């Protein structure tokens, strides 16, 4: 499963970091780092993180266009 985070939309609330720390990491106070290829064991956590994002900046699976890298 792949994800994309719209970093222009992300406001650094870090809900994703709390819910899926193996995929998302906050570097400094606002810079979000993430693994776009979600490990199989983290899929449920990433979906929860996407749902919890206050600005809906995380796109998961079918929401990610095939040509986005």
Structural domain contains residue 14:
yes
Alpha carbon 10 to chain centroid distance?
10
Q: Average of pLDDT values for 28-33?
A: 86
Domain count, the chain: 1
In a domain, 46, yes or no: yes
Contact status, residue 15 vs residue 52, Cβ threshold 8 Å: yes
Q: Can you give the pLDDT at residue 67? A: 45
Q: Is residue 69 part of a domain?
A: no
CATH of the domain at 9: 3.30.70.20
* pLDDT at position 44: 96
How far apart CA 25 and CA 12 sit, in angstroms, is: 10
Query: What does the pLDDT read at residue 30?
Result: 75
Provide mean pLDDT across the span 25-54. Answer: 93
pTM, two decimal places: 0.84
Does a structural domain hold residue 68? no
């Amino acid at each position: 499963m792949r994800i994309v985070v719209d970093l222009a939309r992300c406001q650094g609330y870090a809900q994703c970091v709390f819910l899926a720390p193996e995929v998302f990491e906050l570097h400094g106070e606002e810079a979000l780092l993430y693994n776009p290829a979600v490990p199989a064991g983290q899929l449920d956590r990433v979906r929860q993180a996407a749902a919890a994002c206050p600005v809906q900046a995380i796109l998961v699976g079918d929401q990610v266009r095939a040509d986005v890298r």
